[in-house]
Amino acid sequence: MIVTNSSDSRDTDEPNHGDALPSSGDAASRSGDRGPRGNDRHRGERQPHDDPARSHGHGGRGDRGGQGGHDGQKRGDRGRGRGGRGGRGGRGGRDFEDDKPRVALSPEILARLRAPIEDGNFVVFDIETTGGNPEKNGITEIFALRWHKGQVGDSFYSLVNPGIPVPPIVRRMTGINNAMLRGAPTIHKVMPEFIEFIGDDVLVSHNTIGDMKFLRYFAERHAKKPCNNFFMCTHLLVEKLVSEAPDKSLKGLSKFFDLRAGDLHRAEADAWLTLELFKVLSRRLDDRAVRTIEAGIRLQGDLESAARLGWGIKPDALRNLPHGPGVFYLYDHERRLVFLSCAGSLSREIAKLERYSQVPRALLRTVLRSYDIQVQRMPNIFAALLHECEGVANSTLQYDPVDWHQRGVTTFYISELAGATRLSVGHVAEGARYAFGPVRDRKFAHELLSRIATALGTTIHKNSVVIPPGAAPAVAALLQGTLKDLTKQTKRSLFSIRMLWQAARRRELRELSATCAKLETVTDVPKLRPLLDQSGVIIVPDEGTGTWQVHTIVASRTKAVQMIRGDWENKFELAGFGRRILDRINKEHKATEATPLNALEAAKVNATLWWIQTLGQRQDGFFLTTAELAEKLGKTPAS
């Protein structure tokens, strides 16, 4: 506790926020008078653990279970005012300007962060507030204790006059009322002393991001200095280390770990319970080989802290990266793969990830918790794309590399998966049987998807609509511009004599005819090209060996790759090489086209379509359709 001897807790130059709760002139909250709780805890003293309410804190934060805006919970709901996780819509972190941290880390701070957790200097704290927004609410109570090498040091405590009435919900939950705060010092007096107390130590609390909003706001206004302390949030760490805990509030975690709890929703009790929880989590961090404070901060996953720390990969590993195509892999401190991506130029693509403001937040979180990078050279970008597809299929990445490098083609595709037929807008996905495109105007595509859903009497969910069984041919015909032809063909078949003995088939045709009639109300549909019927060969150079890679493409799927040397055109004409490839394609095309794509095939089809669609921009290879290949070989293409 800090004892204030001033006869008036407010200086003459501080803002007048005390009308609702006028000060009595005695800083009672920071002397011996602590209201109903009494029992001062002085700086440098540690209270005996005889009283569980004093030794372990309270049992939980009831409504606090979520991390601010992340779980839709705010401290204002219970009078505590937890903030959110920071903005989600933008890119990069809050401390960035031109992709560099605004506050450089001193050697002293770096030394603290690189210290083992067991040797770290921590301040475990908690605050109580009147609501969720520091611009409209105030702090009512602060408690903090110093934790170093397994020992509790001095502590800090104060009630705070917020200058506004305490809402009824706060009074009920915390027991803090206007009478208790009337004689307390204002934040103008408390915050400078609290900032002095915490120094550069690493802060620890439960749902720290919301607490930091208040500390930063009032530190800048009343301490005239920023609060830039790094922190370890027990809530974020629980999400990473104890995801199985059903209730991640302090109250829930006290029960889960069998920790003794004291008064609910009071700063001192909360802070002591947070310390006990931090001890448990520190052991779990050690079990995961996370032994430094820096590693713990990276693991908790808050974007701002990770961005201030910068990339965990050693600078030497980022020097002299290859300039050619390939795939790079990012690993965390446990050598687990967290991200991979193909690249036309490995050095340029990896350098883009260092421009934090241009990296999507979800990817930036992943990138900043990586500790190692490995690269694999590839002969060309197409080979790198296919290798990426295989890598993604064999891992559990949280971020799809296609969403980063945008090497994909947006389509309308019809898929059959889990017993449902869907029409979707996006990259070709698992279960796809038809795909049409390319779609260049996503806004129009979603509007068209909505009109199709309305015609079929269904609704859009995200980028997809469930369509009736058997409707796929009609929807495909609509997108290809052949709906009228399908309608006529269906009616002719329906009234043919042979249908008299095929009741099931007649029923299917009636349903198809009805679907065609519904879709005829959808007008202004651009004629799109079918994309899952492309067959031929992709020929790309391998500059490392001086050879050519010949990829056989059947119904837009990559089937085989062969290597040839010298002039590939001559090779195709000699010894029947080209004819054997063409015969194989013609033999497999129909059977392959009728088969839904599996997940790996869908990824490779997406890569293949992108490569073919953008070939004119790159000119780094050749794509010959079966018709072009047959013409080159002087052979009539199969129908």
Tens digit of pLDDT for each residue in 158-167?
A: 999 999 999 9
The tokens describing 28, both together, are 């009672």
Domain 311-405, CATH homologous superfamily name and number: GIY-YIG endonuclease (3.40.1440.10)
Average pLDDT over residues 235-264: 92
How far is residue 620's CA from residue 639's CA, in Å, rounded to a whole number?
30
Mean pLDDT confidence for 556-575: 88
Sheet (strand 372-377) strand order: 337-343, 326-331, 372-377
On the question of pLDDT at 259 being above 90, the answer is yes
The residue ranking higher by pLDDT, 70 or 396, is: 396
The pLDDT value recorded for residue 7 is 33
Query: Token digits for 538?
Result: 């992709």
| Rounded Cα–Cα distance for residues 140 and 267 (Å) | 9
Has residue 202 got a pLDDT over 90? yes
pLDDT of residue 497: 64
pTM of the predicted model as reported, rounded to 2 decimal places: 0.78
The phi-psi region of residue 536 (left if phi > 0; otherwise alpha if psi is between -120 and 50; otherwise beta) is: left
> 296 with 285: CB under 8 angstroms?
yes
Residue with tokens 């249908």: 499
Three-state SS for 288?
coil
**264-305 pLDDT per residue, tens:** 689 999 999 999 999 999 999 999 999 999 999 999 989 999
Q: By mean pLDDT, which of 85-89, 262-266, 461-465 is the weakest?
A: 85-89
pLDDT at 155 over 80: yes
Mean pLDDT across 484-488: 94
In the prediction, which pLDDT does 637 show? Answer: 54
Range 30-36 contact pairs with CB under 8 angstroms and sequence separation of 24 or more: 30/1, 30/2, 30/3, 30/4, 30/157, 30/158, 30/159, 30/184, 30/185, 30/190, 31/3, 31/4, 33/183, 34/157, 34/159, 35/159, 35/180, 36/175, 36/180
Q: pLDDT at position 489, please? A: 92
Distance (Å, whole) CA 278 – CA 275: 5
Please give the sequence-ordered ranges of beta strands (E in DSSP) within 160-310, or none if there are none.
202-205, 231-233
DSSP assignment of 147-163, as one string?
Answer: EETTEEEEEEEEE-B-S
| The pLDDT of residue 324 | 92
Q: Comparing 3 with 519, which gets the higher pLDDT? A: 519
The SS3 assignment for 83 reads coil
Which range, of 79-88, 157-166, 226-235, averages the lowest pLDDT? 79-88
What is the reported pLDDT for 67?
37
Higher pLDDT, 574 or 86: 574
Could you tell me if 195 and 225 are in contact, meaning their C-beta atoms sit under 8 angstroms apart? yes
Helices (H), 288-408: 293-300, 303-309, 346-352, 361-368, 381-393, 401-405
Q: Which of helix, strand or coil describes residue 183?
A: coil
**Which pairs count as long-range contacts for 628-636, CB under 8 Å and 24+ apart, including other chains?**
628/536, 629/536, 629/537, 629/572, 629/578, 629/581, 629/582, 630/582, 632/569, 632/572, 632/573, 632/578, 633/572, 633/573, 633/578, 633/579, 633/582, 635/579, 635/582
Name residue 125's beta-bridge partners. Answer: 144
Owner of token pair 């390939």: 326
Show Cβ contacts of residue 370 under 8 Å, excluding neighbours closer than 6 positions.
311, 312, 313, 330, 331, 332, 338, 339
Structural domain boundaries in the chain: 55-152+192-303, 311-405, 411-530, 536-633
**Tokens 């603290």 sit at which residue?**
112
Pull the structure tokens for residue 440.
Answer: 């260049």
Summarize the confidence of residues 557-571 as an average pLDDT: 90
Q: What is the pLDDT of residue 299?
A: 92
Among residues 56, 235, 265, 427, which one is catalytic? 265
Average pLDDT over residues 551-566: 94
Higher pLDDT, 619 or 267: 267
Across the range 118-135, mean pLDDT stands at: 96
* 3-state secondary structure (DSSP) of residue 142: strand
Of 32-46, 284-298, 301-315, 606-620, the least confident: 32-46
Q: In this model, does residue 79 exceed pLDDT 60?
A: no
Buried residues in 389-403 as b, exposed as e (16+ CB within 10 A): bebbeeeeeebbbbe
State how far the Cα of 283 lies from the Cα of 290, in Å rounded to an integer. 10
What mean pLDDT comes out for the span 330-355?
A: 94
Question: Given a cut of 50, is residue 312 above it in pLDDT?
Answer: yes
Query: Is-catalytic flag, 17?
Result: no
Q: Considering only 465-469, 624-628, 635-639, which range has the smallest mean pLDDT?
A: 635-639
User: Measuring CA to CA, which residue among 448, 445, 391, 389 is closest to residue 609?
Assistant: 389
Of 219, 253, 218, nearest to 233 by C-alpha is 253
How many CA atoms lie less than 13 Å away from 544 in the CB half-sphere?
12
Which pLDDT does position 298 carry in this prediction? 92
- Span 462-471, pLDDT tens digits: 899 999 989 9
From the candidate CATH numbers 3.50.50.60, 3.40.30.10, 3.30.2130.30, 3.30.420.10, the one assigned to the domain spanning 55-152+192-303? 3.30.420.10
Which strands sit side by side in the sheet containing 139-148, from one edge to the other? 151-159, 139-148, 121-129, 202-205, 231-233
**Which has the closest alpha carbon to 335: 289, 384, 404?**
289
